[in-house]
């Protein structure tokens, strides 16, 4: 237990310089990019005196190093600052949009695992067969497909032509907001109040974005599962199970897949960052009101504090999930000790 506590503490301390470096890069890049946030806020035809007054009010007339020190002081006080565009604290839009992104990422991960792992196991079971070739072809193709293109294709087919799913949004206008007033996670909130109609509507809206995000990343899990399954199926205990007459399907999925999942759990932490990156494009395509869409909107408006706040939250999420996956890996595999 003492070693585990030391490991967790070390990982948490290592997250600090990572966030610091990322924050510094984002801070510098935003200020050397073309465009002026004050001009974007007031318009190109605003009087020069008004622009200068606003720049002084926001502290943008200071040297970049002085701005950087001021911002580090804010972060040290756990203060993300105030939006340049909206009269609100940066934490307000982030807390409002974060549940939508986490919900989409969760269901996208479920789709990715639900498609990738069974297909990878099936490809390993029928190695060098037509099924194996087809599954590997699928994995390579979906991994190369742009997320936004797949999203537009699914919208065209299943939302516009077939009218099976909605084109965009998290809910229909007929669903009352009172069903989502607790946590912001619509699936959790609707189940909490027992509103099955609203729950069905939420799931109806999340299917296409989650499939878009999950299918693209499922190719990684197909290849990873297949590679690990091929190694596991050569193990002595697999040969012993086959010698005892255990059915092949049970050998593959009960004995082989269970042990092949250990490296896949490790990969989950690495793929979470890709899920967040893919969520930005998916949210834009489906008008999903999450962090990715918020980030793009504020980049257009040059809202520096909100952009920096979103990046910090993304970095902390990736660090937390990576730590959680490492701890889960140790729980699954007794050979791993911290």
Instruction: Based on the fold, state whether residues 181 and 232 are members of the same structural domain.
Output: yes
pLDDT confidence of residue 208: 93
pLDDT confidence of residue 179: 62
Q: Is residue 91 part of a domain?
A: no
Phi, psi of 82 (to 5 degrees): -115, 150
Cβ-based neighbour number of residue 26 at 10 Å: 17
pLDDT confidence of residue 219: 86
Instruction: Based on the fold, state whether residues 258 and 215 are members of the same structural domain.
Output: yes
* 276 touches 237 (CB < 8 A): no
CATH number at residue 222: 1.10.3720.10
Instruction: Measure CA of the first residue to CA of the last residue in the chain; give whole Å.
Output: 9
Q: Is 103 buried (19+), middle (13-18) or exposed (0-12) by CB count in 10 A?
A: buried
Instruction: Based on the fold, state whether residues 179 and 327 are members of the same structural domain.
Output: no
Residue 209's alpha-carbon distances to 89, 107, 163, 281, 294, in angstroms, are: 29, 9, 15, 10, 17
Q: Is 86 buried (19+), middle (13-18) or exposed (0-12) by CB count in 10 A?
A: middle
Instruction: Based on the fold, state whether residues 74 and 104 are members of the same structural domain.
Output: no
The structure tokens listed for 226 are 């297949």
Q: Is residue 92 part of a domain?
A: no
Instruction: Based on the fold, state whether residues 32 and 149 are members of the same structural domain.
Output: no
Instruction: Based on the fold, state whether residues 148 and 31 are members of the same structural domain.
Output: no
What is the CB-side half-sphere exposure of residue 192 using CA atoms within 13 A?
Answer: 12
Instruction: Based on the fold, state whether residues 243 and 311 are members of the same structural domain.
Output: no
Instruction: Based on the fold, state whether residues 221 and 280 are members of the same structural domain.
Output: yes
Q: Is residue 90 part of a domain?
A: no
| Structural domain for 17, as ranges | 1-84+303-338
Those residues of the chain that have pLDDT short of 50 are none
Instruction: Based on the fold, state whether residues 75 and 192 are members of the same structural domain.
Output: no
* 222 touches 135 (CB < 8 A): yes
Instruction: Based on the fold, state whether residues 32 and 140 are members of the same structural domain.
Output: no
pLDDT per position as a tens digit, 242-264: 777 777 777 777 767 777 777 77
* 132 touches 241 (CB < 8 A): no
**What's the total number of domains in the chain?**
2
């Amino acid at each position: 237990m003492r070693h585990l506590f030391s490991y967790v503490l070390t990982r948490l301390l290592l997250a600090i310089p990572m966030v610091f470096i990322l924050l510094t890069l984002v801070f510098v890049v935003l200020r050397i990019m073309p465009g002026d946030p004050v001009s974007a806020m007031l318009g190109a035809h605003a009087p020069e005196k008004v622009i200068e007054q606003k720049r002084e009010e926001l502290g943008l007339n200071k040297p970049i190093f002085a701005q950087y020190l001021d911002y580090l002081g804010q972060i040290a006080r756990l203060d993300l600052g105030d939006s340049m565009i909206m009269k609100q604290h940066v934490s307000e839009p982030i807390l409002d949009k974060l549940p939508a992104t986490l919900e989409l990422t969760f269901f996208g991960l479920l789709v990715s695992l639900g498609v990738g792992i069974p297909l990878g196991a099936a490809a390993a079971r029928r190695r060098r067969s037509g099924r194996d070739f087809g599954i590997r072809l699928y994995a390579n193709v979906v991994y190369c497909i742009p997320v936004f293109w797949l999203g537009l294709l699914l919208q065209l087919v299943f939302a516009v032509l077939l009218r099976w799913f909605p084109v965009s949004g998290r809910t229909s206008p007929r669903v009352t907001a009172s069903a989502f007033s607790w946590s912001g996670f619509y699936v959790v909130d609707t189940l909490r109040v027992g509103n099955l109609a609203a729950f069905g509507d939420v799931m109806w809206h999340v299917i296409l974005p989650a499939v878009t995000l999950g299918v693209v990343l499922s190719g990684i899990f197909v290849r990873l599962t297949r590679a690990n399954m091929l190694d596991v199926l050569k193990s002595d205990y697999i040969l012993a199970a086959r010698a005892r007459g255990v059915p092949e399907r049970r050998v593959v999925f009960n004995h082989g897949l269970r042990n092949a999942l250990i490296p896949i759990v490790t990969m989950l932490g690495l793929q979470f960052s890709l899920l967040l990156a893919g969520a930005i494009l998916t949210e834009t395509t489906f008008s999903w009101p999450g962090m990715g869409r918020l980030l793009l909107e504020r980049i257009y408006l040059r809202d520096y504090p909100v952009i920096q706040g979103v990046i910090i939250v993304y970095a902390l999420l990736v660090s937390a999930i990576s730590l959680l996956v490492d701890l889960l890996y140790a729980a699954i595999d007794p050979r791993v000790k911290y």
